[in-house]
Amino acid sequence: MMSINIIAVGKLKEEYLRNASSEYSKRLSGFCRLNITELPESRLSDNPSEKEIQIALSNEARLIEEQINKKPALNIAMCIEGKQLSSEELSRKIVDAGINGKSTINFIIGSSFGISPKIKSKADFKLSMSRMTFPHQLARILLLEQIYRSFQISGGGKYHK
């Protein structure tokens, strides 16, 4: 069974988002081993300088590296400059990972300031959900839904229309 790891900087603060995450986690349990790792977000001033932001991203990168270096995996960085895929294309990417011997996929969601360039350079693929900007907490729910949809597509389920 494939392992899907969501490595996210920050916690889901609102109960409705935690409930949505739990629902998709439950739905995905029949398709994969899902693990969600929440890493601490760096604390910054209300108006951080570019240097403060880069230090925070570097600190978060070290925590992300600890997670992605645990075992061989397909590492997908969620970033706005990444490639946009349809639900069907994402489903094929997940299936192809398994066919190509990658039984683990790490989806990396950064903080509100994004993901360190160091982590982006280590990613096998950069994925963008949209050219629009979403709160990273909501992006996690959207990603979980799309992963669930991907498994439904590859399994011929009726969820995807």
* Residue 160 scores a pLDDT above 80: no
pLDDT in tens, 83-139: 999 999 999 999 999 999 999 999 999 998 999 999 999 999 999 999 988 888 999
- DSSP β-bridge partners for residue 34: 4
For the chain, the domains span: 3-154
pLDDT in tens, 5-45: 999 999 999 999 999 999 999 999 999 999 999 999 998 88
- Residue 157: the pLDDT is 87
Closest by alpha carbon to 25, among 113, 151, 161?
151
**At the fourth CATH level, which superfamily is domain 3-154?**
SPOUT methyltransferase, trefoil knot domain (3.40.1280.10)
pTM score, whole prediction:
0.95
